Structure 1
Amino acid sequence: MVITSRIIVKKPVKQVWDFFDNPDNMHLWLKDFKHFEPISGKQGEVGAKAHHVYENKGKKFILEEEITKKVPYKEFSGILRHRSMESIMLNTFEDVGHDRTSLVCTVDTKFKSLPFKLFGSMMKKSFQKRQDADLNRLKECLELES
């Protein structure tokens, strides 16, 4: 299941990248995000692993992130793993002029468990809605800054 979201942020690419790349900002734009826990490697560099901890309705959900590619101000790629799924993410940043940045987020999710495999296609709209909302919160955070 592939989901792509696009936004234009009215800020320079460096500012958008720096905000996106800072784990201390994740709770500001990722719904239900609680905290970030480094596991191995040098934080923020290719090969580094970390837990993303989410909580919704009292239930904790942990994703393991592994950074697979990082080209500052251009691309941030990685793998998000959970016992029921694995998602390959690609985030691209492009200066589109006039202090505006295009951010495109593509996530390709493969489900591991039978129930998710059976119902995965029915969940695509809810995954798309969540991803779009997260990126719009990121945009709002950045555009509200002075």
Structure 2
Amino acid sequence: MKYTCEIIVDLPRDEFIKKLDNPENMKHWQRGLVAYEHLTGTPGNEGAQMNLKYKMGKRDLEMVETIIRRDLPTALHATYDTKGVHNIQKNHFKEEGGKTKWISESEFQFSGFGMKLMGFLMPGAFKKQSMQYLQDFKAFAENGTSVLDI
């Protein structure tokens, strides 16, 4: 399953990248994030891996992020792996008149019957979740609004 989400953030790209590229900020715009831990490589650089832990309702979710391309300020690509799901995330950042256009391309590859079925029956849920992250980042970057306060 593949889809693209876009959002305009009212910040110059260099300020946008400073906020996005700081792992301490993730808790303010990634709902459910409870912890992250650096695993390997130089943090934030190509090849680096980080373990991310989320609480999604009553469910605990753990995934490993691997940076596959770091070409800031224009692009940041990563993969996210958890049981039954391999997600390839390609993020592009364009300066547009003092604002930043964030284009997020997502590709989900499912293994196992349950995850394949969920991907088939609920593709909108995945896109909605991705768009929520973009909207939450926008609120945090522009106004300092944190999902921790919701």
TM-score, normalising length: structure 2: 0.92
For 1:139 and 1:57, how far apart are their aligned partners in 2?
Answer: 23
Q: Give the C-alpha shift of residue 80 in structure 1.
A: 0.5
Correspondence for 2:124: 125
Correspondence for 1:141: 140
The C-alpha deviation readout for 1:20-59, integer Å capped at 9, x for no partner, is 1111011111111112110111111100011111012343
For 1:53 and 1:118, how far apart are their aligned partners in 2?
Answer: 24
**In the TM superposition, what are the counterparts of 1:1-146 in structure 2 within 5 Å?**
1-97=1-97, 99-145=98-144
SS at match of 1:80: strand
SS at match of 2:142: helix
Which aligned segments of 4 or more residues in structure 1 are displaced greater than 2 angstroms? 56-59
Give aligned pairs, total. Answer: 144
For 2:105 and 2:21, how far apart are their aligned partners in 1?
Answer: 16
Q: Give the C-alpha shift of residue 130 in structure 1.
A: 1.0
CA RMSD of the aligned region, Å? 1.1
Which amino acid in structure 2 is aligned with residue 136 of structure 1? Answer: Q
Structure 2 unpaired stretches of 5+: 145-150
SS at match of 2:125: helix
